[in-house]
């Protein structure tokens, strides 16, 4: 017996797909920029060649010569991780759309992590994270409704 997918599940799946697209674009951008950042070479009048001093608004900032190379490598790795997260988001969305129990679990875990992150961001003054906290709270509430849990096979019996 095939059950009809709840509208809220479709909305959550679409939100996850949008997040996956954003992850992909961010990841591709970081991977594309990484080699250029690694090869930035400042004109350095310093004879030691161990660091570069840049003046930002009257403040001298000293950067080790190899720091930009490391930054480029970090950007490449971070970009690769974001690409993997983007692809994983599409897989999770497919699982949500098709009623896979593992997708329900993964969505709960990711949403709880997101709630914790939003709370930390709020503590550090990012009050716009309240919106993310509310949205994630609604997602958790919705996914724990008996009819939704039944759709994912998390409870047995008729849907309410």
Alpha-carbon distance 128 to 103, whole Å? 28
The one-character DSSP state at 2 is P
Q: Where are the domains of the chain?
A: 7-40+61-151
Alpha-carbon distance 149 to 153, whole Å? 6
Tens digit of each residue's pLDDT (9 = 90 or more) over 110-153: 999 999 999 999 999 888 999 999 999 999 999 999 999 999 98
**For residue 106, pLDDT beyond 90:** yes
Cβ-contact 82, 27 below 8 angstroms: yes
Provide the pLDDT confidence category of residue 75 given band limits of 50, 70 and 90.
confident
Cβ-contact 83, 24 below 8 angstroms: yes
101-130 core/surface letters (b: 16 or more CB in 10 A; e: else): eebbebbeebbeebbeebeebeeeeeeebe
Nearest CA to 140 out of 119, 110, 97 is that of: 110
Query: Which pLDDT value is given to residue 40?
Result: 63
């Amino acid at each position: 017996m095939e059950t009809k997918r709840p509208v809220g599940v479709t909305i959550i799946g679409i939100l996850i797909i949008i997040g996956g697209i954003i992850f992909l674009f961010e990841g591709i951008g970081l991977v594309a920029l990484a080699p250029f950042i690694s090869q930035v070479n400042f004109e350095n009048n310093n004879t030691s060649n161990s660091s570069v001093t840049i003046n930002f608004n009257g403040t001298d900032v000293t950067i080790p010569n190899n720091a930009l190379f490391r930054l480029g490598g970090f950007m490449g790795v971070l970009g690769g991780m974001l690409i993997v997260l983007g692809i994983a988001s599409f897989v999770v969305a497919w699982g949500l759309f098709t009623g896979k129990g593992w997708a329900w679990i993964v969505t709960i875990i990711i949403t709880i992590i997101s709630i914790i992150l939003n709370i930390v961001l709020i503590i550090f003054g990012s009050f716009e994270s309240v919106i993310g906290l509310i949205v994630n709270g609604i997602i958790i509430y919705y996914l724990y409704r008996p009819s939704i849990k039944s759709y994912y096979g998390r409870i047995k019996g008729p849907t309410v």
